[in-house]
Homo-oligomer: A and B are copies of this chain.
């Protein structure tokens, strides 16, 4: 992988606009031998027509055989080597709710959970309590004081919240408290390095006080903490490439990932606020902000959700819905368009998988493969080959004429 400093040296000015459309978990599998994948099944006349004018390939997000989490998957699409840049879940959750994380903060993902009279976990998600109750309980947790750090607690959704410990010299080298099963007590936080011992003590103090405060709030009568992490301080798109990037996404985690790369998070007006913006509303936000940015990351979550539900037909329908918005996207005259996924989520498996994802790269200056189909097997025949996804961002920059030559 070429290092980011090398790329940075090559960057030149360009007025070109780049759009990266990520259908989460896009890659799929046939349900039965000889069958088609979700994407191959979907009727996608617009993507097929765009494919004919594009370079195609299969992108490997992390490494062959490795199943990417959403963090590594997106970092790779954003051009960061996901084996070099690791981002803890706590940081993702914090950024996803718009939390202003400081460099020295330690963030963790919290769950309200249920324990019985013996202190054993009976429900790791406290029956997925209502978000309103979560908000109330977080207010009570904010009263906790521990020595050596300020405690910041923010609700996320249902049973999930974020806790941030703010102070000097804190470490994120901490073990998780979620036992990942019922019938056992939460684990204590342990320091994974000697320097993390003071932090472990203060986090355990927080947990003890939280337990006391929550005792009367069955089923949300305890907390589990996971994914202790600090801000990874990624170099941003602005710093690296002089890009002015924006993110259009419905879900906190993807907004958080985009923020790490220095993207502005665009508001996406939604008719149904409770359910968040639709795909149509996301594409409308793209058009509404077109003049203000030169890089857009548009994230569609619904493909992944359908895959995780094992709902092949629904995943097909979501892909077809995205396809219907492609003309609207092309009407903006983008200079570079990439359509891909951050990993595969085959309905057959109901989880993220290791399979490489279809990757379509369109620009006036791409070398079109002339393959008039966007699908896994069509992309396998494409000229990009089976390539490391992190290279994709350099291809976007190159196609935007934003990279000068390397060496004399």
- Chain A interface (Cβ < 8 Å from any Cβ of B): 1-2, 6-7, 10, 27, 29-30, 33-34, 37, 53, 57-58, 62-73, 82-83, 86-89, 92, 227, 346, 348-349, 351-356, 365, 367-370, 376-377, 380-387, 391-398, 403-408
Residue of B nearest to A349 (CB): B365
| A68 to B408 CA separation, bound complex (whole angstroms) | 8
Residue of B nearest to A382 (CB): B380
Q: How many copies does the complex hold?
A: 2
Which residues of chain B come closer than 8 Å to A383, judged between CB atoms? 58, 356, 376-377, 380, 386
Interchain nearest-CB distance for A113 vs B (Å)? 18
Q: Can you pick out 29 interface pairs between chain A and chain B where the beta carbons lie within 8 Å of each other?
A: A2-B63, A6-B83, A29-B365, A33-B53, A33-B368, A34-B370, A58-B383, A62-B406, A63-B391, A65-B395, A65-B398, A66-B398, A66-B406, A67-B403, A67-B406, A69-B405, A69-B408, A70-B407, A71-B407, A82-B407, A87-B408, A92-B408, A353-B365, A354-B398, A355-B367, A369-B380, A370-B377, A380-B383, A384-B386
User: In the complex, are the beta carbons of B397 and A71 less than 8 A apart?
Assistant: no
Residue of B nearest to A85 (CB): B407
Interchain nearest-CB distance for A316 vs B (Å)? 16
Interchain nearest-CB distance for A389 vs B (Å)? 10
The residue from B37, B68, B396, B397 contacting A406, defined by CB atoms under 8 A apart? B68
User: In the complex, are the beta carbons of A407 and B72 less than 8 A apart?
Assistant: yes
Beyond A37-B367, A67-B405, A354-B395, list 8 extra A-B contacts (CB 8 Å).
Answer: A7-B66, A69-B407, A71-B407, A73-B407, A87-B407, A346-B365, A354-B403, A383-B386
Which residues of chain B come closer than 8 Å to A391, judged between CB atoms? 63-65
Which residues of chain B come closer than 8 Å to A83, judged between CB atoms? 2, 6
Residue of B nearest to A52 (CB): B34
Which residues of chain B come closer than 8 Å to A393, judged between CB atoms? 65
Interchain nearest-CB distance for A404 vs B (Å)? 7
Which residues of chain B come closer than 8 Å to A396, judged between CB atoms? 65
Interchain nearest-CB distance for A304 vs B (Å)? 13
User: In the complex, are the beta carbons of A88 and B395 less than 8 A apart?
Assistant: no
| A94 to B102 CA separation, bound complex (whole angstroms) | 53
User: In the complex, are the beta carbons of A376 and B384 less than 8 A apart?
Assistant: no
| A63 to B395 CA separation, bound complex (whole angstroms) | 10
Interchain nearest-CB distance for A34 vs B (Å)? 8
User: In the complex, are the beta carbons of B386 and A88 less than 8 A apart?
Assistant: no
User: In the complex, are the beta carbons of B386 and A387 less than 8 A apart?
Assistant: yes
Residue of B nearest to A394 (CB): B65
Interchain nearest-CB distance for A121 vs B (Å)? 20
Residue of B nearest to A385 (CB): B386
| A69 to B89 CA separation, bound complex (whole angstroms) | 41
Which residues of chain B come closer than 8 Å to A88, judged between CB atoms? 408
Interchain nearest-CB distance for A210 vs B (Å)? 22
Which residues of chain B come closer than 8 Å to A58, judged between CB atoms? 383, 385
User: In the complex, are the beta carbons of B30 and A66 less than 8 A apart?
Assistant: no
| A92 to B407 CA separation, bound complex (whole angstroms) | 11
Residue of B nearest to A1 (CB): B63
User: In the complex, are the beta carbons of A352 and B407 less than 8 A apart?
Assistant: no
Interchain nearest-CB distance for A370 vs B (Å)? 6
